[in-house]
Structure 1
Amino acid sequence: MLEGFYEKDLVEKQIDKKIISKLFRYIKPYRLLLAFTIFLLLVTAGLQMA
């Protein structure tokens, strides 16, 4: 019972890793753009707060 649960947990973690690596591969070219967008959002939010 416990071993089966452990195996299932491992499989789910492997699936998560695959999905995350796929996402990273897809996002990588846009990472600079994403960082710039987040930076702009933070700056505009900071200006609105002040």
Structure 2
Amino acid sequence: MEKYLKKVQVTVQGIEDGLNKIVSEMKEGKNPNVEATESAVKHWLRIN
């Protein structure tokens, strides 16, 4: 069970890192949708 939970933790962390990278790249590119995307990412991270 411990290995499974560790794998889940690593997977969730990878998703979080990926989403934060997308938001960061959108900010750098001055994407007009960055605020909505950032809000959705923060919401997802808060519930997970």
Shorter-chain TM-score: which interval? Answer: 0.5 to 0.7
TM-score (norm 2): 0.58
Question: Which structure dedicates a bigger proportion of its chain to helix?
Answer: 1
Higher relative contact order (CA 8 A, sep 6+): 2
Q: Which runs of 5+ in 1 are unaligned?
A: 31-50
Please identify the structure whose Cα radius of gyration is greater: 1
Structure 2 unpaired stretches of 5+: 31-48
TM-score normalised by the chain length of structure 1: 0.55
C-alpha deviations, 1:1-46, integer Å up to 9, x for none? 000000000000000010000000001144xxxxxxxxxxxxxxxx
Which letter maps to 2:21? Answer: S
After superposition, the CA RMSD in angstroms is: 0.9
Task: Count residues in correspondence.
Answer: 30
Question: Identity over aligned residues, as a percent?
Answer: 7
Which 4+ runs in 1 deviate beyond 3 A?
none
